[in-house]
């Protein structure tokens, strides 16, 4: 921030006179620049600065110490005025208003008292949330103020150990896992074989209904949205003509990496991505899209910055939330604006506005980042239902920039059975499981994953132009050359016939214990049109989709029908 003289040069003569009177400096018959220079020289005198310091009350010295202890001796104006009162000079008063209101004689709070004594100033500066007003102490004035007289020196950097030593182990622990790696592999495979709409609402609805049995982890709408956002942020998937599809080169690059490197790629993609917005998924909140926008990067950067100083072991989540509330409450709010965002409480429907809603909105967001994305990404363990948190080695590497944990992986082979069942261990290369999922029917997720080589899967491979020779080579390689002869025969049969040798169908059958009744049905044109092939004297196939119409027609002809339901 600027030093004292440029600060004073920005003031009008009336404001300079008010400050000069406090410091017993005579500015009469001087022009504005001379007046500012004379006043600055007086204020930067150590003797005069000490005298002015001694005239402050304890609360006023406490407020000034708060500012002197802040980084660069500055604080967002919205935060400072919440703590120490408004400064009307920021928006209401000029020389005429000052003459009318006389705020220097009737200050409405500590902040105004310090401002009209020249001990603090206000200026625009760049913040993470954009350009905004800051309250500051000019650095050369801060150097001569006797802050040491309070018994401690706030000019030093604050202690980085902001949390107490690691406490006892929690009674319940939910350890972070790397299942997001497995589930992103499943997502990319599904996008390869299905026509999935790229529109957000339709996309998430489709994935939630279809992939629930195939996720390895427990997923909520928020974690599924995170998966989609990560796929897009990595460049592993993209919108192609209204459908979400894998991007072959980018997807393969991620799928072929080791698991630790895949975790790192996901963590860094999340840290830098705007495609997933935690505020819109925070439990208990209902944001309304009325044109306002928040920057999700700001909240993540705040959490990661504070976590860099977190001690090893477990620490209370509420202590981190309270620390951010006290030190950087406006971490995601441009210019400390708490009124323009339209967010409702999910339970009551109440609009959550004003700084008094900080804990229910901004605090809730911080808690969600810790218990949601950080946990899902394998970066943080949770204790006692989310009351405690502990960084994993991956989490520690992300927040501190340390070497990322990495190690070689054992890659067990794919297990193939004569009936076409393929068991894919979780530690199988994610790229190989992706390829397997393209040519098979899917069973439930687990370790191992279950797939089945079938006519439906081979038809899907044909539609993707996957040659049978490539399938044979893939199965030999991934199974360690343990492919049952029955699998080879199945592939040979498909290649020879161009399809299945036999097929199964589901059909509705009309049966009767009285052949004469069935014969009457077959000979009645109004009834016969609903029927297909006869299956002996007592049964006939009902045409697809005609069951209800046939039932109504039979009963109109006086024939009672038992639907079997």
- What are 530-547's pLDDT values in tens digits? 998 888 888 888 888 888
- What are 213-261's pLDDT values in tens digits? 999 988 899 999 999 999 999 999 999 999 999 999 999 999 999 999 9
DSSP strand E in 145-240: where?
173-174, 237-240
CA angle 63, 133, 13 (to 5 degrees): 85
Q: How far apart are CA 563 and CA 429, in angstroms?
A: 50
Q: How far apart are CA 523 and CA 19, in angstroms?
A: 111
Angle, helices 77-84/58-69, rounded to nearest 10 degrees: 160
Tell me the mean pLDDT in the region 501-513: 74
Higher pLDDT, 161 or 292: 292
* pLDDT given at position 503: 56
For the chain, domain boundaries? 4-150, 174-272, 278-400, 415-497, 508-556
- What are 10-33's pLDDT values in tens digits? 888 888 888 988 888 888 767 888
pLDDT at 160 over 70: no
* pLDDT given at position 564: 66
In which element (H, E) is residue 374 found? helix 373-376
Q: How many CA atoms lie within 13 A of 390 on its CB side?
A: 21
Q: How far apart are CA 248 and CA 236, in angstroms?
A: 7
- Tell me the pLDDT band of 432, cut-offs 50, 70 and 90: very high
Which of 418-427, 487-496, 526-535 has the highest average model confidence (pLDDT)? Answer: 418-427
pTM over 0.85: no
CATH code for the part of the protein at 174-272: 1.10.10
CA angle 488, 491, 493 (to 5 degrees): 110
pLDDT at 373 over 60: yes
- Tell me the pLDDT band of 151, cut-offs 50, 70 and 90: very low
Q: How far apart are CA 357 and CA 40, in angstroms?
A: 42
Q: How far apart are CA 321 and CA 304, in angstroms?
A: 13
pLDDT at 499 over 60: no
Q: Return the C-alpha torsion angle 103, 109, 111, 114, nearest 10.
A: 60
* pLDDT given at position 25: 87
| Residues 6 or more apart whose Cβ sits within 8 Å of residue 205 | none
- What are 94-116's pLDDT values in tens digits? 677 777 778 788 888 898 889 98
Closest CA to 46 of 139, 144, 117: 144
Q: How far apart are CA 303 and CA 307, in angstroms?
A: 6
Q: Return the C-alpha torsion angle 388, 392, 397, 400, nearest 10.
A: 20
The token pair that represents 195 in the structure block? 């026509």
* pLDDT given at position 93: 65
The token pair that represents 420 in the structure block? 């076409």
Q: How far apart are CA 50 and CA 221, in angstroms?
A: 60
* pLDDT given at position 92: 64
3-state secondary structure string across 152-217:
CCCCCCCCCCCCCCCCCCCCCEECCCCHHHHHHHHHHHHHHHCCCECCHHHHHHHHHHHCHHHCCC
Helix, strand, coil percentages, rounded to 5, for the chain: 50, 10, 40
Closest CA to 254 of 166, 189, 344: 189
As a residue count, the chain comes to 565
* Pairing label, strands 388-391, 285-287: unpaired
* pLDDT given at position 341: 95
* pLDDT given at position 155: 38
Q: How far apart are CA 368 and CA 362, in angstroms?
A: 10
pLDDT at 5 over 80: yes
Cis peptide before 448 (omega within 30 of 0): yes
pLDDT at 152 over 80: no
Percent of the chain with pLDDT over 90: 47
Q: How far apart are CA 215 and CA 231, in angstroms?
A: 15
Report the mean per-residue pLDDT for the chain: 87
Question: Quick check: helix, strand or coil at residue 479?
Answer: coil
Phi-psi region of 542 (alpha: psi -120 to 50; beta: other; left: phi over 0): beta
Q: How far apart are CA 392 and CA 398, in angstroms?
A: 10
- What are 272-310's pLDDT values in tens digits? 999 999 999 999 999 999 999 999 999 999 999 999 888
pLDDT at 504 over 70: no
Q: How far apart are CA 53 and CA 152, in angstroms?
A: 15
- What are 31-70's pLDDT values in tens digits? 888 888 999 999 999 999 888 888 888 888 888 888 888 8
* pLDDT given at position 498: 60
pLDDT at 157 over 50: no
Which of 134-148, 195-209, 277-291, 483-497 has the highest average model confidence (pLDDT)? Answer: 277-291
- Tell me the pLDDT band of 559, cut-offs 50, 70 and 90: confident
Q: What are phi and psi of 217, to 5 degrees?
A: -95, 170
Q: How far apart are CA 353 and CA 335, in angstroms?
A: 15
């Amino acid at each position: 921030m600027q030093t004292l003289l440029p600060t004073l040069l920005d003031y009008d003569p009336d404001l300079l006179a008010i400050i000069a009177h406090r410091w017993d400096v005579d500015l009469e018959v001087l022009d504005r620049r001379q007046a500012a220079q004379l006043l600055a020289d007086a204020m930067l005198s150590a003797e005069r600065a000490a005298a002015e310091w001694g005239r402050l009350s304890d609360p006023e010295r406490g407020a000034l110490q708060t500012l002197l202890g802040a980084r660069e001796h500055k604080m967002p104006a919205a935060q400072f005025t919440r703590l120490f009162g408004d400064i009307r000079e920021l928006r209401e008063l000029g020389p005429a208003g000052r003459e009318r209101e006389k705020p220097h004689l009737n200050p409405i709070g500590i902040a105004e008292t310090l401002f009209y004594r020249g001990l603090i100033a206000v200026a625009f500066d760049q913040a993470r949330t954009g350009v905004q007003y800051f309250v500051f102490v000019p650095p050369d004035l801060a150097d001569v103020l006797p802050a040491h007289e309070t018994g401690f020196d706030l000019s030093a950097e604050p202690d980085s150990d902001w949390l107490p030593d690691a406490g006892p182990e929690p009674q319940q622990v939910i350890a972070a896992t790397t299942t997001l790696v497995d589930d992103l592999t499943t997502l990319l495979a599904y996008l390869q074989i299905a026509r999935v709409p790229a529109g957000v609402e339709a996309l998430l609805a489709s994935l939630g209904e279809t992939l629930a049995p195939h996720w390895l982890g427990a997923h909520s709408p928020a974690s599924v949205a995170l998966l989609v956002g990560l796929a897009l942020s990595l460049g592993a998937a993209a919108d192609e003509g209204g459908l979400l599809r894998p991007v072959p080169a980018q997807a393969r690059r991620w799928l072929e990496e080791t698991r630790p490197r895949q975790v790192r790629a996901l963590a860094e993609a999340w840290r830098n991505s705007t495609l997933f917005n935690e505020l819109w998924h925070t439990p208990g909140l209902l944001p309304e899209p009325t044109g306002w926008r928040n920057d999700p990067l700001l909240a993540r950067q705040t959490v990661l910055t504070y976590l860099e100083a977190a001690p090893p072991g477990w620490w209370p989540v509420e202590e981190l939330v309270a620390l951010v509330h006290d030190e950087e409450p406006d971490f995601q709010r441009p210019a400390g604006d708490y009124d323009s965002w339209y967010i409702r409480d999910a339970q009551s429907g109440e609009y959550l506005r004003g700084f008094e809603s900080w804990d229910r909105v901004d605090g809730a967001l911080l808690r969600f980042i810790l218990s949601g994305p950080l946990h899902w990404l394998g970066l943080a363990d949770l204790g006692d239902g989310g009351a405690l948190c502990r960084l994993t080695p991956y989490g520690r590497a992300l927040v501190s920039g340390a070497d990322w944990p990495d190690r070689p992986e054992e890659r067990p082979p794919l297990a193939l059975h004569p009936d076409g069942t393929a068991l894919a261990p979780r530690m199988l290369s994610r790229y190989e499981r992706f390829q397997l999922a393209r040519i098979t029917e899917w069973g439930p997720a687990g370790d191992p994953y279950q797939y089945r080589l079938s006519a439906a899967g081979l038809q899907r491979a044909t539609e993707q132009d996957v040659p049978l020779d490539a399938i044979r080579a893939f199965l030999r390689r991934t199974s360690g050359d343990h492919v049952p002869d029955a699998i080879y025969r199945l592939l040979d049969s498909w290649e020879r016939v161009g399809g299945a040798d036999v097929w199964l169908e589901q059909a509705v059958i009309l049966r009767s214990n009285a052949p004469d009744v069935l014969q009457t049905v077959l000979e009645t044109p109004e009834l016969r049109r609903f029927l297909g092939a006869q299956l002996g004297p007592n049964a006939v196939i009902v045409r697809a989709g005609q069951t209800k119409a046939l039932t109504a027609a039979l009963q109109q002809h006086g024939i009672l029908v038992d639907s079997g339901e």
